[in-house]
């Protein structure tokens, strides 16, 4: 563990799919540090993770031999040892677009980057500047964001739709992604993994709201193909952008490795129909009706399914621990490569 392993630490940026509890320390209603969240986590603890157990970022950290759980940076009780092996700066409901986190009053991506700069200063005081630089250069950086920019922002609030068509907005978001990676690289990051978008049209809340918007009672609970198409198109553009960034930055420092993480394909496979890999329910969450509940709407008074492992989604937005694990397993070849680089 630590500086004697191929990967020194794991750092995470993004939204609720990688927030282990930073929003617990932010004045926002978008939290999950209460039951039934965390029902299958260690000691049945509701940490602030928007699922019943661990996140994909936790599985990645464990696989890399760093730690079993990536803690939230804003937790004031973190020890120096915990800090040295990595933290998550992610904030549920955040996104690349600066307007997205304003909707839910959460931590913008740019602020997450500022927290990382603050983090560097803190560990320099613990292990010295040279060792801190080595730690960062050998660390694994994970960026998981973008879904909220479309689901909670572009399609839910008219503000951006007045200015951008969908293709224009995709390019707008990608410009921000580019700058974020550039800034992170400037802070010493060399092993960077960037997740694409999931099949957004298959999120239970999207299926539900689309049915209401179009006055259609969707008995079949089918995915909204138009939104999933937007996700696929964005992912193609993101891969091209990451290749360009990787080539340019690797020319400046050959240790640079920037890779795309395909979370779309494994999730799309799971939600194509009941029965795949033992999942029985694919279009609604385990909590409540599973159609709209998330965050404070999924609470101690909510009915909860008895076996979350049979559900792809825990609430109306977020996957279950088992689904997150299967996404991790699909990503392992890329993770293996970047760890060994």
Check residue 80 and give its pLDDT. 94
Q: Has 75 been annotated as catalytic?
A: no
Residue 336 scores a pLDDT above 70: yes
Residue 4 scores a pLDDT above 60: no
* pLDDT > 70 fraction of the chain, expressed in percent and rounded: 96
**CATH 3.40.50 for domain 2-201+222-263+329-340:** yes
Q: Return the bridge partners of 257, or none.
A: 191
pLDDT, the chain, mean: 95
Domain ranges for the chain, please list them: 2-201+222-263+329-340
Check residue 221 and give its pLDDT. 83
Active-site residue, selected from the candidate residues 16, 57, 91, 104 = 16
Q: Has 16 been annotated as catalytic?
A: yes
Check residue 273 and give its pLDDT. 80
Q: Nearest to residue 147, comparing CAs of 99, 95, 187?
A: 95
CA–CA separation, 180 vs 153, rounded Å?
19
Active-site residue, selected from the candidate residues 91, 97, 283, 318 = 318
At residue 320 the predicted structure's pLDDT band, cuts being 50, 70 and 90, is very high
Check residue 3 and give its pLDDT. 39
Q: Has 315 been annotated as catalytic?
A: yes
175-179, 228-232, 274-278: segment of lowest average pLDDT:
274-278
Q: What is the pLDDT of residues 88-111, one digit of tens each?
A: 999 999 999 999 999 999 999 999
Q: How many other C-beta atoms can be found within 10 angstroms of the C-beta atom of residue 162?
A: 6
At residue 79 the predicted structure's pLDDT band, cuts being 50, 70 and 90, is very high
At residue 210 the predicted structure's pLDDT band, cuts being 50, 70 and 90, is confident
Check residue 99 and give its pLDDT. 98
Active-site residue, selected from the candidate residues 18, 149, 315, 316 = 315
Average of per-residue pLDDT across 71-80: 97
Alpha helices of the chain — where are they, by DSSP H?
56-63, 80-84, 99-104, 109-127, 129-137, 147-148, 158-163, 166-186, 204-213, 225-252, 264-270, 321-340
Bigger pLDDT: 181 or 5? 181
Task: Report how many helices (DSSP H) and strands (DSSP E) the chain contains, helices first.
Answer: 12, 6
Residue 214 scores a pLDDT above 60: no
Angle, CA of 13, 19 and 24, to the nearest 5°? 125
Q: What is the pLDDT of residues 99-144, one digit of tens each?
A: 999 999 999 999 999 999 999 999 999 999 999 999 999 999 999 9
């Amino acid at each position: 563990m630590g500086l004697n392993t191929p990967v020194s630490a794991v750092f995470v940026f993004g939204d609720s799919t990688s927030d282990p509890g930073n929003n617990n320390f932010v004045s926002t209603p978008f939290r999950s540090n209460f039951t039934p969240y965390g029902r299958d986590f260690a000691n049945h603890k509701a940490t602030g993770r928007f699922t019943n157990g661990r996140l994909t970022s936790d599985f990645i950290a464990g696989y890399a031999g760093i730690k079993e759980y990536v803690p939230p940076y804003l937790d004031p009780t973190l020890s120096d040892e915990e800090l040295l092996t990595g933290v998550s700066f992610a904030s549920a409901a955040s996104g690349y677009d600066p307007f997205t986190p304003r909707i839910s009053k959460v931590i913008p991506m740019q602020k997450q980057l500022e927290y990382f700069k603050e983090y560097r200063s803190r560990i320099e005081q613990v292990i010295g500047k040279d060792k801190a630089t080595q730690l960062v250069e050998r660390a694994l950086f994970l960026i998981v964001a973008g879904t909220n920019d479309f689901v909670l922002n572009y399609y839910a609030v008219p503000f951006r739709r007045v200015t951008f068509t969908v293709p224009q907005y995709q390019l707008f978001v990608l410009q921000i992604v580019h700058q974020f990676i550039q800034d992170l690289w400037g802070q010493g990051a060399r092993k960077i993994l960037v997740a694409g978008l999931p099949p957004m049209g298959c999120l239970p809340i999207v299926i539900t709201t689309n049915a209401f918007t179009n006055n259609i009672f969707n008995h079949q609970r089918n995915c909204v193909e138009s939104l999933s198409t937007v996700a696929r198109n964005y992912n193609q553009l993101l891969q091209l952008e990451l290749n360009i960034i990787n080539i340019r930055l690797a020319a400046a420092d050959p240790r640079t490795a920037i890779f795309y993480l395909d979370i779309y394909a494994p999730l799309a496979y799971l939600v194509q129909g009941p029965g795949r890999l033992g999942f029985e329910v694919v279009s609604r969450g385990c909590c409540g009706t599973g159609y709209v509940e998330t965050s404070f709407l999924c609470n101690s008074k909510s009915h909860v399914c008895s076996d979350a492992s049979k559900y792809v989604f825990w609430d109306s937005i977020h996957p279950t621990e088992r689904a997150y694990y299967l996404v991790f397993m699909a990503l392992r070849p890329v993770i293996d490569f970047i760890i060994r680089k």
